[in-house]
Structures are given as structure tokens and as C-alpha cells.
């Protein structure tokens, strides 16, 4: 081997040993084997040799180049592997707990609605449903809410263009509204089922109200019990059993006489405050009671509108809002929070 080539190889290996990056490796490659590289330059030496030595020199030069190329290649592999290990060490820490994908949960309102339904189902009630777009007859007329009743005012009710409803049978044209309460589900149920009837109807309701404490979309739950000999005492007993199951404690049930066209007598009902057991706190405004909703004995006229013999059957109904109840249960300060879909709020209610 020519001493010149041998010196190149030695120098090269010495330089290679301290190369720690792929850029430096490339520079080293250029310095030896590039167009102006030192090994490349030695190729020119060949012409200066006596012809008899040229062949050997050429072969030695080729071996030198091959050896350098192979060493560069091995070193590149080593550097790549080292970089990968470094990356892995940085990115993958096998001792870290795994990242969990964010898990959604039911809206607090849905949770309340389900809990309410479960409670009444345990008490022997079925769950009934009705459409959000409702005929005026079921939402108003059959519930004794006459044409001149203020609840039918444009200011309270969302009217729907009848033409906008697909599949409306011709000849069955009714003024349509977004149901303003869940009470039309009473009508639908009584028209299609025979007593004994024992249903609840939770659902979305709509009114043209939109301020800090009212949302144009809100939620109610309706209760209805029709059979022979049903009395107000049954209603009170049912509400008491409901509070015990739902709030986990016996609460007072108080009726205050009130008027709703579809019940007679009618009442508003309050429950003893579940937070202070009636002693008085901020949540019950120091009255010891929380106003919940309306109720009463189903008006005989309503029974007759639905083809139920009011001489034979009696029944009671109640209805209350579940948005406020949800806010109270979780001490949610603003109604808006319930409908903004902000995950920072929603994720506080895992289920």
C-alpha cells in the first residue's frame, strides 16, 4: 500500500472517531472523497508513477476509497441509531402514566331529567313523549286554554308556519306552535290510552322569553295519574314519595291554591328546602320552602275532550321546570351557563 494512501486512511479514522453529527460526517466525506477531497487528489498521483506500479496503486486507491465509504456508512448508521434513541428517551417516558383521551359526560340537565324519570319509574309511572312542534289544539284548546287566553299571545308563544311542516295531512291543518309546556302530552296520552293512566313526560319546551333568568328553550316534566277514585291525597302522597327518593330525605309538601285552566282545584306546590331541612337558608330565601311547580285535579272538561268519562274517572296532574331544579341541585349561579356548551363548565359534572 502506498504510504500516502495509508496515511490518508489513518488520518481519516482519527477524524471519524470525533464525528458526532451527520453534518460533520458529510463534511468529512467531502474532505476526503469530494471533488477536491484529499483522497480524490491522490488519484492524480497515479499518472506520475512508472507504468508498472500504476496498476497496484490504482487497486490500492480503490480499496482506500471503499474502506472510507464503508466506514462513513457504518458511522452514519451509528449516528442515526443514537439520534433515534435520544428522541425516544425524550418523547417516550415509559414510566409516565398514559394520557387519557378526554371523556365526555351527560349534560347536568340530562342527568337531572334521567334521575327524575328513574324516580317516577320506580313509583310505577311510564315515560311518555310528545313532539316539540305541537298543534294549538293539544297545546291550548284541549287544556281549556281558550282562544283569548293571554298564554296564546304572540309575545309568549312561538308560532310555526303550518306550511313548514312536512307530512301534514291535508285537511288536518292546525295552527302549529312550539309547545309552551309539556301539558299537551297529557292530552296525547289520554286520547290514546285508557285509564288507569300513570305517566310522566319530561321534555323540552319553548316560550318567547329571553333574559338573565329565562331561556326561550327550557325543560319541564309533567305527571299525570287517572283512575277511579283518584284524589288530591294521592297527589300529595306521590310527591312525598318522590321527594324521599329523589332528595334522599322526607320533605314537607305544601300546596298553595292557584289557577291553571286545565285543573280544578289547582295549586302551586312547594317542597321543604332540602338544603336546610326547612330551617331557612339562602337557597330557599329563608322561607324554608322551595317553589317547584303547578298541579291540581284534572279538569272534568279536559277529561271529556280526551274521551274519558269524567263521572267515572278522576285524576291529578303536575308540571314543573327542571332547569331551575338542576341549577339548585348543583348551585349553578347563572342560567346561561346551562346552554353555552362551555366544556370548562360541563366537565364539572362527570357521571
- Which residue's CB is nearer to ligand DAH, number 37 or number 294? 294
Residue 293: strand, helix, or coil: strand
Q: For the chain, how many helices (H) and strands (E)?
A: 11, 10
The only residue of 295, 302, 322, 327 in contact with ligand DAH, by rule CB under 6 A: 295
Give Rg (Cα) of the chain: 42
The only residue of 108, 203, 274, 294 in contact with ligand DAH, by rule CB under 6 A: 294
Smallest separation, CB 322 to ligand DAH (Å): 12
Smallest separation, CB 123 to ligand DAH (Å): 16
Question: What's the sign of the alpha-carbon dihedral 79, 83, 89, 90?
Answer: positive
The only residue of 263, 292, 303, 332 in contact with ligand DAH, by rule CB under 6 A: 263
Sequence-separated contacts (24+) of 299-303 with Cβ below 8 Å:
299/144, 299/261, 299/262, 299/263, 299/264, 300/264, 301/144, 302/142, 302/143, 302/144, 302/186, 302/187, 302/190, 302/262, 303/190, 303/226
- What is the distance between the alpha carbons of residues 132 and 298, in angstroms, rounded to a whole number? 23
Closest to 49 in 3D by CA, of 37, 61, 64: 61
Smallest separation, CB 227 to ligand DAH (Å): 16
Smallest separation, CB 200 to ligand DAH (Å): 11
- Which residue's CB is nearer to ligand DAH, number 19 or number 267? 267
- Which residue's CB is nearer to ligand DAH, number 19 or number 145? 145
- Which residue's CB is nearer to ligand DAH, number 42 or number 325? 325
φ, ψ (nearest 5 deg) of residue 220: -130, 165
Q: Does 108 bind ligand DAH (CB under 6 A)?
A: no
Chain residues 199-238 in contact with ligand DAH, contact rule CB under 6 A = 222
What nine digits make up the cell of 350?
A: 362527570
- Which residue's CB is nearer to ligand DAH, number 313 or number 318? 318
Smallest separation, CB 194 to ligand DAH (Å): 20
- Which residue's CB is nearer to ligand DAH, number 145 or number 273? 145
What is the per-residue binding string for ligand DAH in 143-182, x denoting contact by CB under 6 A? --------------------------------------x-
Mutual orientation of helices 51-91 and 3-17 as an angle, nearest 10°?
10
Chain residues 274-293 in contact with ligand DAH, contact rule CB under 6 A = 293
User: Which positions ≥6 away from 173 have C-beta within 8 Å?
Assistant: 162
317 burial via Cβ count (<10 Å: 0-12, 13-18, 19+): buried
Smallest separation, CB 97 to ligand DAH (Å): 50
The 10 Å Cβ neighbour count of residue 61 is 21
Chain residues 305-324 in contact with ligand DAH, contact rule CB under 6 A = 317-319
The only residue of 61, 206, 225, 260 in contact with ligand DAH, by rule CB under 6 A: 260
| Count, residues near ligand DAH per rule CB under 6 A | 12
Give the DSSP H/E element, type plus range, for residue 248: none
Smallest separation, CB 179 to ligand DAH (Å): 10
Residue 110: strand, helix, or coil: helix
- Which residue's CB is nearer to ligand DAH, number 119 or number 205? 205
Smallest separation, CB 241 to ligand DAH (Å): 18
Question: What's the sign of the alpha-carbon dihedral 93, 95, 96, 97?
Answer: positive
Residue 243: strand, helix, or coil: helix
Question: What's the sign of the alpha-carbon dihedral 142, 143, 147, 151?
Answer: negative
Smallest separation, CB 181 to ligand DAH (Å): 3
List interacting residues with ligand DAH (CB under 6 A).
181, 183, 222, 260, 263, 293-296, 317-319
Amino acid at each position: 500500500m502506498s504510504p500516502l494512501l495509508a496515511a490518508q486512511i489513518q488520518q481519516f479514522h482519527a477524524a471519524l472517531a470525533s464525528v458526532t453529527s451527520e453534518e460533520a460526517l458529510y463534511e468529512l466525506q467531502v474532505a476526503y472523497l469530494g471533488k477536491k477531497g484529499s483522497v480524490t487528489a491522490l488519484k492524480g498521483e497515479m499518472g506520475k508513477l512508472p507504468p508498472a506500479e500504476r496498476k497496484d496503486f490504482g487497486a490500492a486507491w480503490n480499496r482506500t476509497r471503499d474502506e472510507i465509504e464503508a466506514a462513513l456508512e457504518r458511522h452514519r448508521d451509528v449516528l442515526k441509531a443514537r439520534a433515534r434513541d435520544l428522541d425516544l428517551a425524550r418523547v417516550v417516558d415509559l414510566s409516565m402514566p398514559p394520557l387519557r383521551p378526554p371523556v365526555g359526560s351527560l349534560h347536568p340537565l340530562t342527568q337531572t331529567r334521567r334521575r327524575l324519570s328513574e324516580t317516577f319509574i320506580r313509583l310505577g309511572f311510564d315515560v311518555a313523549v310528545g313532539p316539540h312542534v305541537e298543534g294549538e289544539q293539544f297545546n291550548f284548546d284541549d287544556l281549556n286554554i281558550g282562544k283569548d287566553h293571554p298564554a296564546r299571545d304572540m309575545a309568549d308563544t312561538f308560532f310555526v308556519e303550518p306550511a313548514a311542516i312536512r307530512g301534514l295531512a291535508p285537511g288536518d291543518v292546525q295552527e302549529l306552535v312550539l309547545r309552551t309546556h309539556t301539558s299537551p302530552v297529557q292530552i296525547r296520552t289520554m286520547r290514546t290510552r285508557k285509564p288507569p293512566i300513570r305517566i310522566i313526560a319530561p321534555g323540552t319546551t319553548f316560550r318567547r322569553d329571553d333574559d338573565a333568568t329565562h331561556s326561550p328553550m327550557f325543560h319541564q316534566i309533567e305527571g299525570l295519574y287517572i283512575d277511579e277514585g283518584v284524589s288530591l291525597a294521592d297527589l300529595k302522597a306521590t310527591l312525598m314519595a318522590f321527594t324521599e327518593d329523589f332528595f334522599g330525605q322526607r320533605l314537607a309538601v305544601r300546596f298553595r291554591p292557584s289557577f291553571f285552566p286545565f285543573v280544578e282545584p289547582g295549586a302551586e306546590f312547594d317542597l321543604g328546602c332540602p338544603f336546610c331541612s326547612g330551617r331557612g337558608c339562602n337557597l330557599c330565601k329563608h322561607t324554608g320552602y322551595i317553589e317547584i311547580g303547578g298541579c291540581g285535579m284534572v279538569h272534568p272538561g279536559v277529561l271529556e275532550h280526551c274521551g274519558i268519562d269524567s263521572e267515572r274517572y278522576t285524576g291529578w296532574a303536575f308540571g314543573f321546570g327542571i332547569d331551575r331544579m338542576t341549577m339548585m341541585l348543583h348551585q349553578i349561579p347563572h342560567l346561561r351557563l346551562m346552554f353555552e356548551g362551555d366544556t370548562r363548565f360541563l366537565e364539572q359534572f362527570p357521571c
